[in-house]
A and B are shown apart, each in its own frame.
Chain A
C-alpha cells in the first residue's frame, strides 16, 4: 500500500500531461554556434524536440578540449539521482559519460569500442611490419 502511494506521488505529473506512454529522459541538448557544439545534459520529456523546453538542466558537456587539453563535464549529481529515482531513462551518450565519470559503472560499449580499436591498431601494426620486411 505504501509502495503504491510512493509510485503514485512521483509519477503523478506524468499521468496528467499530454504524452501518452512517454517518459522523462536524461539526454543531451545541442547548443552553441557553427563549428562550435556545446551540449547541455537535460531532463526532458521523451517526446519533446531535442533542443526545446526541458524540465530541468542537469549538467553540461563541452566536446572541444580547452587550453589545458581537458573536456569539461559538469554534472548535478543530486538532481540526476532525483530524476533517476523518478524513473527517468538515460540515453547512451549520457550513460557513457556517467560511466567514464565513475558515477555509473563503465558502459559495455566503451569497453567494446576500446577493444575493437586496439585490435584494429594491432592488425595495422602487423600489416605495416609485414610490408616493411618484404620491401627491404
Chain B
C-alpha cells in the first residue's frame, strides 16, 4: 500500500492546494476537483451538491474512496453480534490471497458513501378549502395511501385540519406516517434523544462519532434538516479536535472531506494525512 500511497497523496496535494491558496468564491473554485461532467456512478443514490463539482462525479468518488483508505482490521472489527467462537481454517497461499480479495470486495461494499443532499424544501400545498366543516372536529385526520407499490417519495399523505382545510402533510408528518405503516429496521417513530445538541456533546467526548452517524443514517432521511444538522455538528467536532482517524476507514469519510472542502477548513485534515503517509 506504501507504493500506492505516495502518488495518491501527491495528486491530492496538488488538487487540494487550490482551495487553500487562491481566493476564489467557494463554488467556482471546486471546478478543479470535479470536471463538472454528469455523474456516472450509482444511479439509485442522488448526491448532487453544486452544478459544477458533483459529489457523484466519478473522479470525486474515486478520490474520496482513495482517501478513505481500506483498513480491513477496522472495517471488519466485530460489530455487536451474537458471540461465536472464532473459526480457524487451514489454507494454502493461493486460498489466502483469494480470501483477502473477497474481503476487500466486501469491504468496498460496506464503504459505499451515504448520499449528500441539500436540505429539503418545506411542503405547504393546500388541496381544498372547505370552511363549512369548521368546528365539527377537534382533531386532525391524516390520510395515508398504503399502496405497496408506490415509492415513499410519491406517496399521497394528506391532512384534513379541524378548520376544514385539506393540505399535504409536512415532511415530519410524512416520515412519521411512513414509519407507522411501513416500519423500517433501525428507525424509531420518535427520534431518540441522542440527537439533541447537549447529548451529542457527551457522545463526542466519548469518541463515538461513527456510531452516532450510523444511527443518524438509520433514523433520518438524507435530505432532512436533522440529518444534515447532526452530520455537520459531527464533522465540526472532528475538525475541532483533529480526530480524523475515527472516521478513517468508514463510509462517512467521504462525506466529511466533502463538507470540509466546501467550507475550506482542510488544513487540519491535510496535516493529518501528511503525517500519516510519512
Residues of A within 8 A of B (CB): 59, 65, 68-79, 97, 100-103, 106, 110-111, 113-115, 117-118, 121
Instruction: Give every chain B residue within 8 A of A121 (Cβ-Cβ).
Output: 135
State in angstroms the CA–CA spacing of A71 and B144 once bound together: 11
A71 near B135: Cβ-Cβ < 8 Å: no
The chain A residue with its CB closest to the CB of B133 is A114
Tell me the residues in window 132-151 of chain B with beta carbons closer than 8 Å to chain A beta carbons.
Answer: 132-136, 138-149
1/0 contact string of B151-184 vs chain A (CB within 8 Å): 0000010111000001000000000110011000
* Interface-central residue, B140, B146, B156, by most chain A CB under 10 Å: B146
A113 near B136: Cβ-Cβ < 8 Å: yes
The chain A residue with its CB closest to the CB of B180 is A72
B130 near A101: Cβ-Cβ < 8 Å: no
State in angstroms the CA–CA spacing of A11 and B242 once bound together: 71
Residues of B within 8 A of A (CB): 127-128, 130, 132-136, 138-149, 156, 158-160, 166, 176-177, 180-181
State in angstroms the CA–CA spacing of A114 and B149 once bound together: 36
A106 near B130: Cβ-Cβ < 8 Å: yes
B144 near A75: Cβ-Cβ < 8 Å: yes
B141 near A74: Cβ-Cβ < 8 Å: no
Among A59, A71, A76, point to the contact of B142 (Cβ < 8 A): A71
Instruction: Give every chain B residue within 8 A of A117 (Cβ-Cβ).
Output: 135-136
Instruction: Give every chain A residue within 8 A of B148 (Cβ-Cβ).
Output: 76
- Could you show 25 A-B contacts with beta carbons less than 8 Å apart? A65-B139, A70-B140, A70-B141, A70-B142, A71-B142, A72-B144, A72-B180, A73-B141, A73-B142, A74-B143, A74-B144, A74-B145, A75-B143, A75-B145, A77-B145, A77-B147, A78-B147, A78-B149, A100-B166, A101-B141, A101-B160, A102-B143, A110-B133, A111-B132, A114-B134
19 extra interface residue pairs, beta carbon distance < 8 Å, beyond A71-B141, A102-B166: A71-B140, A72-B142, A72-B180, A74-B145, A75-B145, A75-B146, A76-B146, A76-B147, A76-B148, A77-B156, A79-B147, A100-B160, A101-B141, A101-B143, A101-B158, A102-B160, A106-B130, A113-B136, A114-B132
